[in-house]
Amino acid sequence: MEQLLQQVGAGLANGAIYASLALALVMIFVSTNHINFAQGEMAMFSAYIAWQFMEWGLSFWLALPLVMALSFTTGVVIERTILRPLHGAPVLSVVVVFIGLLTIFHALAGGIWTYTIKAVPSPFPEVAFPGSGYIGSHQLGMIGVTVIVLIALFTFFRFTPLGLAMRAAAQNPASARLAGISVDWMLALGWGLAAAVGAVAGCMVAPAVYLEPNMMASILLYGFAGALVGGISSPGGAVAGGFIVGVLENLIAYLGNVVERTTGLYIVGNGEKLTVALVIVIAVLTLKPSGLFGHVTVERV
Protein backbone atom coordinates (compact mmCIF):
# COMPACT_ATOMS: atom_id res chain seq x y z
CA MET A 1 0.00 0.00 0.00
CA GLU A 2 2.75 2.39 0.97
CA GLN A 3 4.55 1.56 -2.25
CA LEU A 4 1.41 2.15 -4.22
CA LEU A 5 0.97 5.61 -2.71
CA GLN A 6 4.60 6.38 -3.38
CA GLN A 7 4.07 5.46 -6.99
CA VAL A 8 1.03 7.70 -7.20
CA GLY A 9 3.03 10.53 -5.61
CA ALA A 10 5.88 10.09 -8.07
CA GLY A 11 3.36 9.82 -10.88
CA LEU A 12 1.74 13.12 -9.90
CA ALA A 13 5.15 14.79 -9.77
CA ASN A 14 6.06 13.56 -13.23
CA GLY A 15 2.53 14.32 -14.32
CA ALA A 16 2.97 17.96 -13.30
CA ILE A 17 5.89 18.22 -15.72
CA TYR A 18 4.02 16.43 -18.49
CA ALA A 19 1.02 18.66 -17.85
CA SER A 20 3.14 21.80 -18.25
CA LEU A 21 4.62 20.60 -21.51
CA ALA A 22 1.26 19.40 -22.73
CA LEU A 23 -0.18 22.83 -22.01
CA ALA A 24 2.71 24.53 -23.79
CA LEU A 25 2.11 22.34 -26.84
CA VAL A 26 -1.64 22.94 -26.78
CA MET A 27 -1.28 26.71 -26.40
CA ILE A 28 0.57 26.84 -29.69
CA PHE A 29 -1.56 24.17 -31.31
CA VAL A 30 -4.93 25.84 -30.69
CA SER A 31 -3.86 29.02 -32.43
CA THR A 32 -1.72 27.62 -35.25
CA ASN A 33 -2.50 23.89 -35.60
CA HIS A 34 1.21 23.22 -35.26
CA ILE A 35 2.97 20.93 -32.81
CA ASN A 36 6.15 22.61 -31.66
CA PHE A 37 8.59 19.69 -31.60
CA ALA A 38 11.23 22.05 -30.22
CA GLN A 39 9.21 22.76 -27.06
CA GLY A 40 11.19 20.20 -25.04
CA GLU A 41 14.60 21.42 -26.18
CA MET A 42 13.58 25.01 -25.47
CA ALA A 43 12.66 23.95 -21.93
CA MET A 44 15.97 22.12 -21.60
CA PHE A 45 17.82 25.23 -22.73
CA SER A 46 15.93 27.32 -20.18
CA ALA A 47 16.95 24.87 -17.46
CA TYR A 48 20.60 25.30 -18.48
CA ILE A 49 20.29 29.05 -18.27
CA ALA A 50 18.81 28.75 -14.80
CA TRP A 51 21.69 26.48 -13.84
CA GLN A 52 24.15 29.03 -15.25
CA PHE A 53 22.54 31.82 -13.21
CA MET A 54 22.88 29.67 -10.10
CA GLU A 55 26.52 28.97 -10.94
CA TRP A 56 26.99 32.73 -11.02
CA GLY A 57 25.61 32.90 -7.52
CA LEU A 58 21.95 33.67 -7.99
CA SER A 59 19.44 31.83 -5.83
CA PHE A 60 17.08 29.47 -7.62
CA TRP A 61 14.08 31.61 -6.75
CA LEU A 62 15.67 34.60 -8.39
CA ALA A 63 16.90 32.59 -11.36
CA LEU A 64 13.47 31.08 -12.07
CA PRO A 65 11.55 34.31 -12.80
CA LEU A 66 14.55 35.64 -14.75
CA VAL A 67 14.65 32.53 -16.89
CA MET A 68 10.87 32.64 -17.37
CA ALA A 69 11.14 36.22 -18.61
CA LEU A 70 14.06 35.34 -20.90
CA SER A 71 12.25 32.30 -22.26
CA PHE A 72 9.10 34.33 -22.81
CA THR A 73 11.06 36.89 -24.81
CA THR A 74 12.84 34.20 -26.79
CA GLY A 75 9.51 32.54 -27.60
CA VAL A 76 8.07 35.83 -28.84
CA VAL A 77 11.17 36.57 -30.91
CA ILE A 78 11.23 33.08 -32.46
CA GLU A 79 7.59 33.43 -33.49
CA ARG A 80 8.03 36.91 -34.90
CA THR A 81 11.24 36.23 -36.82
CA ILE A 82 11.28 32.54 -37.74
CA LEU A 83 7.65 31.46 -37.91
CA ARG A 84 6.04 34.67 -39.12
CA PRO A 85 7.45 34.36 -42.66
CA LEU A 86 6.03 30.82 -42.75
CA HIS A 87 2.39 31.83 -42.32
CA GLY A 88 0.44 29.93 -44.90
CA ALA A 89 3.41 27.70 -45.71
CA PRO A 90 2.81 23.95 -46.08
CA VAL A 91 2.75 22.02 -42.80
CA LEU A 92 5.87 20.12 -43.79
CA SER A 93 7.94 23.32 -44.06
CA VAL A 94 6.86 24.27 -40.57
CA VAL A 95 7.75 20.82 -39.27
CA VAL A 96 11.20 21.14 -40.78
CA VAL A 97 11.63 24.50 -39.05
CA PHE A 98 10.60 23.00 -35.71
CA ILE A 99 13.10 20.18 -36.15
CA GLY A 100 15.72 22.77 -37.08
CA LEU A 101 14.96 24.70 -33.89
CA LEU A 102 15.19 21.50 -31.89
CA THR A 103 18.59 20.70 -33.35
CA ILE A 104 19.85 24.25 -32.82
CA PHE A 105 18.89 24.36 -29.14
CA HIS A 106 20.31 20.90 -28.62
CA ALA A 107 23.63 21.74 -30.29
CA LEU A 108 23.82 25.14 -28.54
CA ALA A 109 23.35 23.56 -25.12
CA GLY A 110 25.94 20.90 -25.87
CA GLY A 111 28.33 23.46 -27.30
CA ILE A 112 28.05 25.92 -24.43
CA TRP A 113 27.71 23.57 -21.47
CA THR A 114 29.08 20.24 -22.88
CA TYR A 115 27.21 16.96 -22.90
CA THR A 116 28.40 15.88 -19.45
CA ILE A 117 25.49 15.46 -17.10
CA LYS A 118 25.18 17.93 -14.26
CA ALA A 119 23.57 17.36 -10.90
CA VAL A 120 21.23 20.20 -10.01
CA PRO A 121 20.35 20.74 -6.35
CA SER A 122 16.68 20.86 -5.48
CA PRO A 123 15.44 24.29 -4.50
CA PHE A 124 13.18 22.67 -1.93
CA PRO A 125 14.58 21.85 1.52
CA GLU A 126 14.52 18.20 2.65
CA VAL A 127 12.12 18.53 5.53
CA ALA A 128 9.76 16.09 7.14
CA PHE A 129 6.09 16.82 6.58
CA PRO A 130 2.94 14.76 7.02
CA GLY A 131 3.03 12.24 4.22
CA SER A 132 6.73 12.64 3.51
CA GLY A 133 7.01 8.86 3.50
CA TYR A 134 5.02 8.81 0.31
CA ILE A 135 6.40 11.73 -1.61
CA GLY A 136 9.74 13.51 -1.59
CA SER A 137 9.93 17.23 -0.91
CA HIS A 138 11.23 17.94 -4.40
CA GLN A 139 8.36 16.02 -5.92
CA LEU A 140 5.88 17.89 -3.77
CA GLY A 141 7.56 21.19 -4.63
CA MET A 142 7.44 20.32 -8.32
CA ILE A 143 3.72 19.71 -8.11
CA GLY A 144 3.19 22.87 -6.06
CA VAL A 145 5.11 25.19 -8.38
CA THR A 146 3.55 23.70 -11.50
CA VAL A 147 0.05 23.97 -10.10
CA ILE A 148 0.66 27.62 -9.17
CA VAL A 149 1.87 28.37 -12.69
CA LEU A 150 -1.09 26.56 -14.24
CA ILE A 151 -3.57 28.39 -12.03
CA ALA A 152 -1.92 31.72 -12.85
CA LEU A 153 -2.16 30.94 -16.53
CA PHE A 154 -5.80 29.90 -16.37
CA THR A 155 -6.63 33.03 -14.40
CA PHE A 156 -4.91 35.08 -17.05
CA PHE A 157 -6.81 33.46 -19.91
CA ARG A 158 -10.11 33.40 -18.08
CA PHE A 159 -10.23 36.80 -16.42
CA THR A 160 -8.02 39.33 -18.18
CA PRO A 161 -8.91 41.27 -21.34
CA LEU A 162 -5.63 40.25 -22.97
CA GLY A 163 -6.27 36.60 -22.15
CA LEU A 164 -9.73 36.91 -23.67
CA ALA A 165 -8.28 38.53 -26.79
CA MET A 166 -5.78 35.68 -27.09
CA ARG A 167 -8.54 33.09 -26.82
CA ALA A 168 -10.58 34.91 -29.44
CA ALA A 169 -7.58 35.14 -31.77
CA ALA A 170 -6.91 31.43 -31.40
CA GLN A 171 -10.53 30.49 -32.01
CA ASN A 172 -11.35 32.64 -34.98
CA PRO A 173 -8.46 34.73 -36.31
CA ALA A 174 -10.52 36.40 -39.05
CA SER A 175 -13.18 37.60 -36.61
CA ALA A 176 -10.53 38.65 -34.10
CA ARG A 177 -8.95 40.85 -36.77
CA LEU A 178 -12.38 42.33 -37.47
CA ALA A 179 -12.54 43.14 -33.76
CA GLY A 180 -9.34 45.15 -34.15
CA ILE A 181 -7.14 42.58 -32.43
CA SER A 182 -3.57 42.15 -33.70
CA VAL A 183 -3.79 38.41 -34.16
CA ASP A 184 -0.13 38.11 -35.13
CA TRP A 185 0.94 39.57 -31.81
CA MET A 186 -1.43 37.27 -29.96
CA LEU A 187 0.28 34.28 -31.61
CA ALA A 188 3.67 35.62 -30.60
CA LEU A 189 2.46 36.11 -27.02
CA GLY A 190 1.19 32.52 -27.04
CA TRP A 191 4.64 31.37 -28.06
CA GLY A 192 6.16 33.43 -25.26
CA LEU A 193 3.80 32.01 -22.65
CA ALA A 194 4.39 28.47 -23.88
CA ALA A 195 8.15 28.98 -23.63
CA ALA A 196 7.80 30.38 -20.10
CA VAL A 197 5.68 27.43 -18.98
CA GLY A 198 8.19 25.07 -20.58
CA ALA A 199 10.96 26.88 -18.70
CA VAL A 200 9.27 26.18 -15.39
CA ALA A 201 8.93 22.52 -16.34
CA GLY A 202 12.61 22.36 -17.32
CA CYS A 203 13.78 24.02 -14.11
CA MET A 204 11.59 21.78 -12.00
CA VAL A 205 12.56 18.54 -13.68
CA ALA A 206 16.33 19.19 -13.85
CA PRO A 207 17.00 18.35 -10.18
CA ALA A 208 14.98 15.15 -10.56
CA VAL A 209 16.72 13.79 -13.68
CA TYR A 210 20.16 15.50 -14.01
CA LEU A 211 20.77 18.31 -16.43
CA GLU A 212 21.90 17.25 -19.89
CA PRO A 213 20.94 18.14 -23.46
CA ASN A 214 18.82 15.00 -23.86
CA MET A 215 16.93 15.58 -20.65
CA MET A 216 13.64 16.58 -22.27
CA ALA A 217 13.45 14.14 -25.16
CA SER A 218 11.29 11.47 -23.54
CA ILE A 219 9.54 14.01 -21.32
CA LEU A 220 8.29 15.82 -24.41
CA LEU A 221 6.89 12.54 -25.69
CA TYR A 222 5.02 12.07 -22.41
CA GLY A 223 3.81 15.65 -22.60
CA PHE A 224 2.61 15.02 -26.12
CA ALA A 225 0.91 11.84 -24.93
CA GLY A 226 -0.78 13.84 -22.16
CA ALA A 227 -1.95 16.46 -24.63
CA LEU A 228 -3.40 13.83 -26.94
CA VAL A 229 -5.07 11.88 -24.14
CA GLY A 230 -6.67 15.01 -22.69
CA GLY A 231 -7.51 16.53 -26.04
CA ILE A 232 -5.05 18.51 -28.12
CA SER A 233 -7.66 21.23 -28.60
CA SER A 234 -8.38 21.62 -24.89
CA PRO A 235 -5.87 23.32 -22.55
CA GLY A 236 -7.61 22.05 -19.42
CA GLY A 237 -7.80 18.60 -20.93
CA ALA A 238 -4.10 18.63 -21.76
CA VAL A 239 -3.22 19.42 -18.16
CA ALA A 240 -5.46 16.63 -16.89
CA GLY A 241 -4.01 14.34 -19.57
CA GLY A 242 -0.47 15.11 -18.40
CA PHE A 243 -1.31 14.13 -14.84
CA ILE A 244 -3.18 11.03 -16.01
CA VAL A 245 -0.23 9.83 -18.11
CA GLY A 246 2.18 10.51 -15.22
CA VAL A 247 0.17 8.48 -12.72
CA LEU A 248 -0.71 5.71 -15.16
CA GLU A 249 2.84 5.05 -16.33
CA ASN A 250 3.97 4.59 -12.73
CA LEU A 251 0.97 2.51 -11.71
CA ILE A 252 1.36 0.19 -14.64
CA ALA A 253 5.05 -0.31 -13.97
CA TYR A 254 4.17 -0.90 -10.31
CA LEU A 255 1.47 -3.44 -11.15
CA GLY A 256 3.92 -5.15 -13.50
CA ASN A 257 6.39 -5.46 -10.62
CA VAL A 258 3.69 -6.84 -8.31
CA VAL A 259 2.68 -9.42 -10.89
CA GLU A 260 6.28 -10.42 -11.43
CA ARG A 261 6.91 -10.81 -7.72
CA THR A 262 3.81 -12.87 -7.06
CA THR A 263 3.66 -15.02 -10.18
CA GLY A 264 7.18 -14.72 -11.58
CA LEU A 265 5.66 -13.61 -14.84
CA TYR A 266 7.25 -10.53 -16.36
CA ILE A 267 4.78 -8.44 -18.33
CA VAL A 268 5.76 -4.80 -17.93
CA GLY A 269 8.37 -3.04 -15.84
CA ASN A 270 10.11 0.32 -15.64
CA GLY A 271 11.71 -0.24 -19.03
CA GLU A 272 8.38 -0.29 -20.81
CA LYS A 273 6.94 2.89 -19.27
CA LEU A 274 7.21 4.90 -22.45
CA THR A 275 5.74 2.10 -24.54
CA VAL A 276 2.86 1.85 -22.12
CA ALA A 277 2.27 5.57 -22.31
CA LEU A 278 2.11 5.42 -26.09
CA VAL A 279 -0.21 2.43 -25.98
CA ILE A 280 -2.52 4.45 -23.74
CA VAL A 281 -2.46 7.29 -26.24
CA ILE A 282 -3.32 5.04 -29.14
CA ALA A 283 -6.09 3.37 -27.15
CA VAL A 284 -7.65 6.68 -26.17
CA LEU A 285 -7.39 8.10 -29.66
CA THR A 286 -8.97 5.01 -31.15
CA LEU A 287 -11.91 5.16 -28.77
CA LYS A 288 -12.22 8.94 -28.64
CA PRO A 289 -10.29 10.70 -31.40
CA SER A 290 -10.65 14.16 -29.87
CA GLY A 291 -9.15 13.04 -26.55
CA LEU A 292 -10.91 12.59 -23.22
CA PHE A 293 -11.80 16.27 -22.81
CA GLY A 294 -11.45 17.57 -26.34
CA HIS A 295 -14.21 18.54 -28.69
CA VAL A 296 -14.39 17.35 -32.25
CA THR A 297 -13.39 20.08 -34.64
CA VAL A 298 -15.57 20.34 -37.66
CA GLU A 299 -13.65 21.44 -40.72
CA ARG A 300 -15.56 24.20 -42.44
CA VAL A 301 -15.38 24.00 -46.20
Partner 1 sequence: MSLLEVTALKAYYGQTQVLHGVSFALEAGGITTLLGANGAGKTTTLRSICGMVATEGAIRLDGEPIAGRATEEIVRLGVGHVPEGRGTFTHLTVDENLRVSAYTRRDKAAARRDRDMVFEYFPILKARIGQQAGTLSGGEQQMLAISRALMLRPRLLLLDEPSFGLAPLIVEEIFRIMRRVNSEAKVSLLLVEQNAALALDLADHAYVLETGRVVMSGSAADVKRDEGVRKSYLGY
In the complex, the residues that contact partner 1 under the rule CB under 8 A are 161, 164-165, 167-168, 171-172, 174-183
Nearer CB in complex with partner 1: 171/270: 171
Question: Is the torsion defined by CA of 128, 129, 131, 132 positive or negative?
Answer: negative
Nearer CB in complex with partner 1: 114/175: 175
Rg, Å, the chain Cα set: 19
**85 burial via Cβ count (<10 Å: 0-12, 13-18, 19+):** exposed
CB of 236 vs partner 1, minimal distance in Å: 13
Nearer CB in complex with partner 1: 207/294: 294
CB of 4 vs partner 1, minimal distance in Å: 39
CB of 177 vs partner 1, minimal distance in Å: 4
CB of 234 vs partner 1, minimal distance in Å: 11
Nearer CB in complex with partner 1: 54/186: 186
Nearer CB in complex with partner 1: 134/185: 185
CB of 166 vs partner 1, minimal distance in Å: 10
